[in-house]
Amino acid sequence: MDDLITQPIVQYGFLGFSAVLLGVVIWLIRRLLAVLEATGRIIAANTEAIRDLMSMTGDLLKLSRSVHDKIISRPCIALREGGDSHGQ
């Protein structure tokens, strides 16, 4: 007689617990998908920023090389102002 009362209670308890767990899993999956979407947007923005930085760095490198070449092509000022600057 006890089994007739407790067996359905236990079965319905497991059924209720399973439904709650299923609800929690679905909620967590939705949260995970939202986080993955936000992460994708952040990665895209960071990639674009890195591309901009690479472009700017390339431009600065070209400018630096140009300035270097101009400086190297100019004559030494110390030689024109009185000869030897090394004390020889």
What number of CA atoms fall less than 13 Å from residue 30's CA on the CB side? Answer: 6
84 has a pLDDT exceeding 70: no
- For 32-62, the pLDDT digits (tens) are 999 999 999 999 999 999 999 999 999 999 9
Average pLDDT over residues 71-84: 75
**Residues near 85 by Cβ (< 8 Å), separated by ≥ 6?**
78, 79
Query: What proportion of the chain, given as a percentage, has pLDDT over 90?
Result: 66
